[in-house]
Structure 1
Amino acid sequence: MSLLDDPARLREHVAAFRAAHPRKDVRAQFGESMRALMERRPDVVAVTADLMHATGLAGLHATFADRLVNVGIAEQNMTGVAAGLAACGKLPVVCGYAAFTTLRAVEQAKVDCAYNELKVILAGLACGLSYGVGGPTHQTYEDVAIMRAIPNMIVVAPSDPVELGHALEAAADLPDATPVYLRLGRGPEHVLNRPGAPFAIGRAVRLAEGRDLCIVAHGAMVLEALLAADLLRAEGIAAEVLNMHTVKPIDRDAILEAAEHVRAMVVVEEHSVVGGLGSAVLEVLERGHAFPVARVGIEDAYPPIGPTLELREALGLSGPHIARRARDLLGDVPRTRAVRGG
């Protein structure tokens, strides 16, 4: 019996894989990364909507009281104030929940920031199902679709707390007058990157090599993609894993290069299957690549309310589910599939 079909062995294998990747609280990491950025850049101002504790900023008050702006529960004002600060030469970082930064304040993100070509970092914490117990008002599965549709908006979804720090620094150092949306989690997530891991906005990171299949993922799903690749290896399937941390501008070269040598592709995201990373990958492959692409994400319906890990498992956003989906997909693809050009 294969590993994927043996429940007892599978549970043991998955537990060992996860145990090898310690977890760290995303909010705590965001606070630490903001402290480091504010120490390095005196022009950085944090703007939040009564979420000092929830975004990890509370510990910064003693040191940076004059560079922390709390507008109260007024996310539209939060983003508008940030745009004003940017227009005055500051580098504002909006520190809010993804659900409110991208939905309640979407007009301000579009008009005040992007249209006016102002450099504002829009940090959206508690993305996806990371605040699963908050229900549909706080779960965020449409933010990537919304933000990547805004011209002059960069969209980045770091894969773990370490990459969060790299992404924040990279966003701050971008020379262009463009807003950046950082899609961040909330509670503990597994760490897979080393502190000095390479990071560049717009450049995917290949984490595993494979000639049968390519798994493309971002955010917390990168760890699940690595777990899926590990499980597929036991099935004799070699899976490449791409950490597509930047959804816009997406790394077209990495996707097209993978498409030259794999038989199929699976895109995994803790986001709606409508308009997110899967849609972005298909837009790259829309010409000349007649091979199967499976999108693993949140279907076009409201997820239930519940703890994050249980919701991910129930919705198929876990390594074993991804591996089974990939195995089934490859079962329908001839091993001699002709590779198409880009």
Structure 2
Amino acid sequence: MKNQFGEFNFIYTGIQKRRRRWLLVTSLLTILAIILCISMLLLGNTIYPIQEVIRVLLGEQIQGVSFAVNIIRLPRMLAGLFTGFAFGIAGYIFQTILRNPLANPNVLGITSGSSAAAVLCITVFHTSNTVVSIASIIAGLVTVVSMYFLSRGQSFSIGRLILVGIGLQAMLDALISYLLYISAQQDIPAALRWLSGSLNGTKMDDLPPLVIVIFIFIPIILLLGKHLNMLELGEQMASSLGVVTNKTRILLIISSVFLIALATSVTGPIAFVSFLAGPIANRLVGVGFSNILPAGLVGANLVLAADLIGQFAFEYRFPVGVITGILGAPYLIFLLMRMNQKGEL
């Protein structure tokens, strides 16, 4: 009896420690995101006092400050916050479902599908941002459905799905190159700027669809968080624990596709955020709890910090996607070398 009580006490203590660590890390990530958001509102060609920025945000009109904050800095900051959050969570979902750190929307071709649709709308049809958003969602969903049917066999295979996704990505990237090749000269700079992943020129009118999708699908994803952890244990184990694996997987993937498609339509495909957010969150928090929220916060912090670095750390200003690409490429090489050493490739 004493042994059983001691074992129970040990397990309970471990759960409490992991819960405290989760709360601490999530709180620190939230505080860091707030600091970065404030920095993006204060910093620019002119550094405004925080008192003036607060007055402008409360509705007061101050010459020069109101335009800079409300028209330029606030939309840029909100776009970085929400898209980073969406990219981070979507990447974590795919990596967890497929139990592979390489299985993120960038590698699987989902981002390329949304990007191809957006480039088509920008360079060929010259549509509004609303149409670009709708086209990105449809293209992302079509990419996922195509990937599922092309990889379908007698049973669900993670390796087959990833290989099909890589193939679709190559095909869609070729389509994007072709669209740029046949585009009018005046349309190419806008498309290239969008493809690099940038917060430049973001307007408040671009954000409502993304915010609505986040508030609809994030609660669904959080409610399925425990089932997601069980899916990570494998198909048979999750089924034995009462998880309806196919239904859960479909709901999570559809939710993630909506997040990634809308985020891509606002800022373009910001490189490596969905790839880095999950592993960083897992390293910071550890295992035992759902890291969906920490992954989203890591993604938001990555985008906000990378945008500040791109604006102020160099002589020339770089889009946020260039900075995240510089950060993510070494990690990808390290991960490939590590997986190769373990015989996972």
Q: Which band: TM-score by shorter chain? A: under 0.3
When normalised by structure 2's length, the TM-score is 0.24
Larger Rg: 2
**Which structure would you say has the larger RCO, counting Cα contacts within 8 Å and 6 or more residues apart?**
2
